[in-house]
């Protein structure tokens, strides 16, 4: 068994909290906003699509934030995070934005979050986004491994698979069928109890 510490790196939306854009689509009645990285693997194309819809409908950052304020972590996520923080170091690696994520971080107990930023004009319209670093999830996992952590990565979408590949172990959490089909090498967890078992099995291997 390795003496190096285990660190769990997790995606945020779809893993610990609901998908923000899906919730916003339901709140606004705009079905085109339901598309996520589960549907479109090209993140730049997806964000261009989203910002175009926001402009078309005159929707501002504040409109999205009002929806986020009423959202809660996924059932069981808080108990899972309590369990995890007592046993293993962890970090959330997400393609979301700090402007979206702060309410969730408060509810999750302020875990370390690495994500991206939005650019907003004087009228409160989202005009651009800025990636903290390209391919940030994969780079973060590589850096953590260089610090001699044994990294377990967990995500649900196409944009998580690069970090799962670089990690010492990867977990797909409730992935959609297309992701399941294309990445059969990763174990699938449909609930947090399964996640715990997979983490413990790796930690003691």
Catalytic residue numbers read 11, 13
**Does residue 201 contact residue 168 with C-beta atoms inside 8 Å?**
no
Please state, in angstroms and rounded to a whole number, the distance separating the CA atoms of residues 143 and 146: 5
Please state, in angstroms and rounded to a whole number, the distance separating the CA atoms of residues 160 and 78: 21
Per-residue DSSP letters for 47-83?
HHHHHHHHHHHT--HHHHHHHHHT--PPTTHHHHHHH
**Residue position matching structure tokens 């650019």:** 119
- CA triple 183-72-179, angle to 5 deg: 10
């Amino acid at each position: 068994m390795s003496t190096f510490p285990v660190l769990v790196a997790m995606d945020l939306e779809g893993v610990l909290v609901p998908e923000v854009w899906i919730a916003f689509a339901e709140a606004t009645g705009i079905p085109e906003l339901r598309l996520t990285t589960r549907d479109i693997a090209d993140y730049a194309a997806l964000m261009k699509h989203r910002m175009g819809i926001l402009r078309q409908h005159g929707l501002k950052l504040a409109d999205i934030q009002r929806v986020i304020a009423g959202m809660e972590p996924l059932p069981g996520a808080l108990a899972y995070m309590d369990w995890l923080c007592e046993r293993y170091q962890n970090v959330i690696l997400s393609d979301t934005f700090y402007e979206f994520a702060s309410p969730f971080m408060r509810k999750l107990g302020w875990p370390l979050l690495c994500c991206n930023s939005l650019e907003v004009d004087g009228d409160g319209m989202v005009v651009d986004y800025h990636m903290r670093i390209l391919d940030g999830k994969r780079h973060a996992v590589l850096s953590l491994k260089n610090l001699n952590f044994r990294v377990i990565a967990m995500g649900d979408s196409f944009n998580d698979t690069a970090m799962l590949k670089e990690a010492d172990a990867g977990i797909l959490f409730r992935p959609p069928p297309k992701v399941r089909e294309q990445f059969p090498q990763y174990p699938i967890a449909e609930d947090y109890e399964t996640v715990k078992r997979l983490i413990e099995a790796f930690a003691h291997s």
